[in-house]
Amino acid sequence: MPERARTRARSRRAVRSTTACADDRAGGDRDRPARQVEIEKTEDCPNYAGRVMTGLDLRARTPDWMREKLRRSDVRSIHPVVDVTNYVMLELGQPMHAFDLARIRGAVRVRRARAGESLRLLNNQLVQLSTSDLLITDDSGPLALAASWAAPRRK
């Protein structure tokens, strides 16, 4: 196999889940440190990558063609940043989540749910979690059910 093809194959296997953290201040803050990513058990999630995106126009609207693609896939259009992550997941099968960097407390962690933990989803449904559920969390608790539903933005 040519080296370029091997590199592409390795990089596709290496990232099992991806997070995009949006810094909503105009132009972003390049001095703000990125968040550490910690994986509790690599058997549960061998790799996890994060990316901080700055300078996003949070007033932008998701293009109609993407909203329609999501609708036809039974995915509700929420916000352009979230819609892009959902679109990528549908097109490539790569689960993604987007979080507001200013609202993440401490490190981003991938871990199993603890007994009695719950998560309120973007559709306002409260889900009681099982200890087999894989979560994306920070110091204040669950942010998202890994490769599935996200929690609403915290204030």
**pLDDT > 70 fraction of the chain, expressed in percent and rounded:** 73
pLDDT at 24 over 80: no
**Residues ≥6 apart with Cβ < 8 Å to 117:** 129, 135, 141, 142
Burial category of 6 from C-beta neighbours within 10 Å (exposed 0-12, middle 13-18, buried 19 and up): exposed
- Rounded to whole angstroms, the Cα distance separating 144 from 103 reads 13
**SS3 at position 44:** coil
pLDDT level of residue 109 (50, 70, 90 thresholds): very high
| Residue 97: count of CB within 10 angstroms of its CB | 25
Report pTM: 0.69
Q: Tell me, what's the pLDDT at 14?
A: 35
The predicted-structure confidence for 42-69, as pLDDT tens digits, reads as follows 888 888 888 888 888 888 999 999 999 9
Strands 108-112 and 37-39: parallel
pLDDT level of residue 25 (50, 70, 90 thresholds): very low
Least confident of 99-103, 132-136, 146-150: 146-150
The class level of CATH for 3-28+37-145 reads: alpha beta
pLDDT at 94 over 70: yes
Q: Mean pLDDT of all residues in the chain? A: 78
More confident residue, 1 or 108: 108
Burial category of 148 from C-beta neighbours within 10 Å (exposed 0-12, middle 13-18, buried 19 and up): middle
